[in-house]
């Protein structure tokens, strides 16, 4: 295959506009990618690329970068010129070119500090540890999110921690991390407890009720934070978070009961589905009847004495949802608890019906007896 035919050269001579030159670049690069050039043709192609990479029209250089971005045989001087060009030219090339070395990427990150270029690097088909570390240190929250979303970005535990240090409060970061299958348990724990760290300090400073009550209050705060976090996730993100919690041993009956009482029914159903390995259609059928609820709850780790509480709470939560009112979480939980108390005589009398923590504590007590 020839590089450019006589017809193409005539068209270029008749119309030397930037668009015509860009079209010529695309054709030449496509032919170059076919790996059918002779040694002489390769030399000629390189010479043409070296002229075009200095073209004053951005559209021409942009076309060259896009056309050569997947080619591993781009000469080093041309590759470096492209990555150091303006963002419109450099970004598509940086995003995937195999002709760029790790040192080249680090040079772009540390010296140019361009957010657009760093986002492109963060989305590359493979991002090795030194590049991940540099992107976390020099990038913005958009770079961090792109990096967290890239399953082929290689993180160390320290890199995960550093990313949370710098960008844990940025939108989308927690969900992006929650989707990663390589997320260490300690980082997941940190994500779930970050919201409640200041509460922990206040509890320790102001409460003298003993370790057991203090830890119960801390657990309650952490579980609420977990459910609040799950509520911001997409269905896929929520499923990944549930999987992480399961593998970390944190998908507990306490968390599941709290999810129902606070109106997080999609979380409850997703957790039950994973714990019991149920298909959604089958689970929906099982959760319609008390016998089915009992079966899935046993499989999820609830004791027989705690199952009626779960069933009653589930019915109450569904009835409240069906009413179509957007109740605040504390009001929703209070209504659920009131209905559960009415149905479950075994729970007992003489306590404040607003206290969801009492209901959960009572459920856990029944589960242990």
pLDDT at 187 over 50: yes
DSSP 117-140: HHHHHHTSS-B-HHHHHHHHHH--
Q: What is the extent of the structural domain holding 23?
A: 1-98
364 and 351: one domain? yes
pLDDT band for position 354 (50/70/90)? very low
pLDDT at 15 over 60: no
Other Cβ atoms within 10 Å of 261 Cβ, number = 27
Domain presence at residue 266: yes
Other Cβ atoms within 10 Å of 209 Cβ, number = 10
Domain presence at residue 272: yes
CB 300, CB 275: distance < 8 Å: yes
Choose one of 174, 199, 215: the last residue of a domain.
Answer: 174
pLDDT at 121 over 90: yes
Between these two residues, 319 and 140, which has the higher pLDDT value?
A: 140
pLDDT in tens, 32-82: 655 667 777 778 778 888 888 888 889 888 988 988 888 888 899 999 999
Domain presence at residue 233: no
151 and 70: one domain? no
- pLDDT at residue 349, rounded to an integer: 46
Is the model's pTM score more than 0.85? Answer: no
Domain presence at residue 222: no
281 and 299: one domain? yes
| Rounded percentage of the chain residues whose pLDDT exceeds 90 | 23
pLDDT in tens, 190-213: 766 654 454 445 444 544 444 555
141 and 59: one domain? no
CB 258, CB 295: distance < 8 Å: no
- pLDDT at residue 193, rounded to an integer: 62
- pLDDT at residue 259, rounded to an integer: 87
Domain presence at residue 191: no
Domain presence at residue 317: yes
pLDDT at 156 over 70: yes
- Give the whole-angstrom CA distance, residue 156 versus residue 292: 44
Determine whether 289 is exposed, middle or buried from the number of CB atoms within 10 Å of its CB (0-12, 13-18, 19+). exposed
Lowest mean pLDDT among 160-169, 194-203, 237-246, 326-335: 194-203
pLDDT winner (highest mean) among 78-92, 179-193, 217-231: 78-92
- Give the whole-angstrom CA distance, residue 248 versus residue 252: 10
- pLDDT at residue 344, rounded to an integer: 63
Choose one of 78, 98, 118: the last residue of a domain.
Answer: 98
254 and 364: one domain? yes
Q: What is the average per-residue pLDDT within 163-189?
A: 79
Between these two residues, 218 and 118, which has the higher pLDDT value?
A: 118
59 and 169: one domain? no
pLDDT winner (highest mean) among 152-161, 214-223, 320-329: 152-161
pLDDT band for position 145 (50/70/90)? very high
From 69, 12, 2, 67, select the one nearest 36 (Cα to Cα).
2
253 and 342: one domain? yes
289 and 256: one domain? yes
253 and 331: one domain? yes
Domain presence at residue 326: yes
The number of residues making up the chain comes to: 369
pLDDT in tens, 272-293: 999 989 988 888 889 888 888 9
159 and 271: one domain? no
Provide the 3-class DSSP secondary structure of residue 185. helix
- Give the whole-angstrom CA distance, residue 247 versus residue 127: 26
Domain presence at residue 73: yes
Residue with tokens 């971005």: 69
Between these two residues, 168 and 135, which has the higher pLDDT value?
A: 135
Lowest mean pLDDT among 76-80, 254-258, 336-340: 336-340
| Rounded percentage of the chain residues whose pLDDT exceeds 70 | 77
pLDDT at 134 over 90: yes
Lowest mean pLDDT among 79-83, 122-126, 160-164, 244-248: 244-248
- pLDDT at residue 24, rounded to an integer: 74
5 and 73: one domain? yes
Structural domain count of the chain: 3
pLDDT at 366 over 70: no
Between these two residues, 25 and 344, which has the higher pLDDT value?
A: 25
- pLDDT at residue 215, rounded to an integer: 54
């Amino acid at each position: 295959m020839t590089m450019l035919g006589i017809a193409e050269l005539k068209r270029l001579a008749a119309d030397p506009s930037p668009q015509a030159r860009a079209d010529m670049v695309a054709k030449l690069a496509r032919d170059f990618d076919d790996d059918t050039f002779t040694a002489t043709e390769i030399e000629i192609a390189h010479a043409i690329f070296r002229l075009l990479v200095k073209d004053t029209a951005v559209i021409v250089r942009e076309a060259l970068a896009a056309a050569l971005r997947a080619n591993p045989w781009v000469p080093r001087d041309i590759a470096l010129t492209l990555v150091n060009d303006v963002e419109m030219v450099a970004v598509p090339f940086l995003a995937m070119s195999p002709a760029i070395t790790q040192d080249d990427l680090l040079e772009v990150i540390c010296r140019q500090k361009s957010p657009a270029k760093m986002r492109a690097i963060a989305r590359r088909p493979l991002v090795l540890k030194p590049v991940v570390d540099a992107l976390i240190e020099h990038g913005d929250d958009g770079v961090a999110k792109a990096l967290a979303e890239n399953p082929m970005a290689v993180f160390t535990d320290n890199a995960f921690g550093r990313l949370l240090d710098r960008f844990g409060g940025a939108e989308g970061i927690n969900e992006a991390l929650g989707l990663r299958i390589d997320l260490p348990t300690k980082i997941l724990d940190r994500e779930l407890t970050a919201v409640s760290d200041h509460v922990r300090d206040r509890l320790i400073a102001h409460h003298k009720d003993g370790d057991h009550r203090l830890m119960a209050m801390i657990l309650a705060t952490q579980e609420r934070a977990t459910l609040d976090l799950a509520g911001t996730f997409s269905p896929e993100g929520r499923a990944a978070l549930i999987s992480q919690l399961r593998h970390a041993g944190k998908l507990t009956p306490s968390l599941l009961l709290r999810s129902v009482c606070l109106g997080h029914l999609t979380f409850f159903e997703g957790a039950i589905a994973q714990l019991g390995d149920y298909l959604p259609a089958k689970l929906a059928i099982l959760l319609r009847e008390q016998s089915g609820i009992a079966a899935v709850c046993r499989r999820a780790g609830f004791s027989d004495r705690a199952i009626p509480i779960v069933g009653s709470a589930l019915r109450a939560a569904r009835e409240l949802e069906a009413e179509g009112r957007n109740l605040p979480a504390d009001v929703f939980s209070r209504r659920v608890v009131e209905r559960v108390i009415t149905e479950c005589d075994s729970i007992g009398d003489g306590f404040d019906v607003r206290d969801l923590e009492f209901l959960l504590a009572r459920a856990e007590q029944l589960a242990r007896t």
